[in-house]
Amino acid sequence: MVDAIRAAETQTSGEIRVVITSRLVLRPEIHARRLFAKLGMERTRRRNGALIVLFIRRRRFVVLGDSGFDEIVGPDYWQEIAAKLSALLQDGRKVEALTSAIRKIGETMAAHWPPDASNPDELPNVIHRE
């Protein structure tokens, strides 16, 4: 998955992060928003970050985009990502599900925010676990 993040980010100035949590979280959406802030996702220059949080114990996930991302895509985009992620997760294909979502988000980022000359990797390309 880290390779998928790296590959996606070479085509864009956008940033993608993934968190896998085994914590029992009662309100995944709220927890994901807190993680978004904690991980510094809103500190990218173009506000073009995306976060995928997989809640293992709840068998749920949340996908969030920063304000710059949300200005470009609508709710249908996130529903499409969620539907594909959900289908693959239900089949037990976690790595493929996350990799597919990373790839799709990366393609969207590349179409709207191509890399520029400086294109720093603003956030680490790691899978966070909690």
Domain span at 86: 2-129
Q: Quick one: residue 47, left, alpha or beta (phi over 0 = left, psi -120 to 50 = alpha)?
A: left
Mean pLDDT over 119-126 rounds to 71
C-alpha–C-alpha distance, residues 24 and 43, integer Å: 28
Which SS3 state, helix, strand or coil, does residue 129 take?
A: strand
pLDDT digits (tens, 9 = 90+) for 66-111: 999 989 998 899 999 999 999 999 999 999 999 999 999 999 999 9
C-alpha–C-alpha distance, residues 118 and 130, integer Å: 32
CB 10 within 8 A of CB 107: no
**Per-residue model confidence (pLDDT) at position 59:** 87
Question: For residue 74, which amino acid is it?
Answer: G
Domain count, the chain: 1
Q: How high is the mean pLDDT of the chain?
A: 91
Tokens of 58: 């709840």
pTM score, two decimals?
Answer: 0.92
**Per-residue model confidence (pLDDT) at position 57:** 87
**Per-residue model confidence (pLDDT) at position 126:** 80
Tell me how far the alpha carbon of residue 116 is from its chain's centroid.
21
* CATH code for position 72: 3.10.310.50
